[in-house]
Structure 1
Amino acid sequence: MFEETVLADVAFGPRNLGLSDEEARERARRALELVGLPPDRFGSRSPFELSGGEMRRAAIAGVLAMEPRMLILDEPAAGLDPRGRRDILEHIRRLHRDGALTIVLITHSMDAVAQLCERLLVLDRGRLVADGPTRAVFADLSRLTALGLGLPQVTLLARRLGERGLPVRPDVLTIDEARVAILEALAVRDRGVL
């Protein structure tokens, strides 16, 4: 953070691209809205008054204000409390869904990968060892185990329920998918099909 206010800080990059102060401020306002930091509430605040999650979102807004085609995020939720983590992941999901923006996410969090990624590349000592749709890569449990990677927590829950006799699909990746799969498995069990 380089400036005295959040708005000025987010406008820093566009100004350095040669945009007028007004255009840089307008881009900064739009970018702050995109990351859930309304400029009328956050724009005049000092960047140092922001929480950790808000600081990360302001930093992302600073990049978005330059209108990139690609956004590379390295461990964007690391060190945040559960609410901050949920908020930043939701904003990343929305940015990808709503914009023509490619997002590259670098993380060790399999939960974040499951929530956000359509395609998963796994590197081991700088070597690409897996590449494919996220669900397909997570389906290869033996490979993940050999690489020291775990499964998303919700996937582990589904597998454990299956091991205990409730036929939940083991490939769920999100809480919403797990909810549907568990309700379906309970309906099957309640009909006496098990």
Structure 2
Amino acid sequence: MKKILYLNIILIILILVANVAIFYGINFPMPFDFINHFTDYETEYILIILLIIGLLAYLIASVKNKQNNFLHIFFILNCLFLAFLAFEGSSEYIKKKKELTLREMEYIKQAKKDIENDRVTYKFAGGLAVSDYDEEIEKKIDDIYKKYGVTYFNTGCIVDFMDLKAQKKYQETVKPYLIKRNGKNWELKMKSEIEKIRN
């Protein structure tokens, strides 16, 4: 009796872990952050389903008139629920992984085109800075970017983890070209020139 009770406890823990894994499968490639995303896991729904499974197991055991079978039936139903969660989570992860691969291929293709045009574009997410805007200074900074063959494009404040991950392929593709074009430590040189203009 104790053995089946412990197995049920272990199974419930696995179901809760599977629920967290599904969240990250659906939101792949979001970085793992258990504390900050805790409310997003919707654990209350899993607990409600577990209560329903418990009630169903009790009703099935009552019909068979064998109360000691409750834990066995509860275990079997939870195994089925865990199998369902595992299937859902893995299928979502596979789907997102394919989507990421497609985006990475698009970024590699775009990188090669930008290298041909000598105009590499780095995308970044962030708020739009409106204070301390000086048109003349911004034009000089743009000229420095052109000198080094790069452009920086602000995509806004919404962070798309899929896009951020895919952009790494773009950066990997253009990095050797920019080193060959501008020399080693070109980014430090460029930043230094920009700082001189801003100060």
What TM-score results when the alignment is normalised by the length of structure 1? 0.29
Greater fraction helix: 2
Q: Which has the higher contact order (CA 8 A, sep 6+)?
A: 2
| Structure whose residues are more often strand by fraction | 1
Say which one has the larger Rg: 2
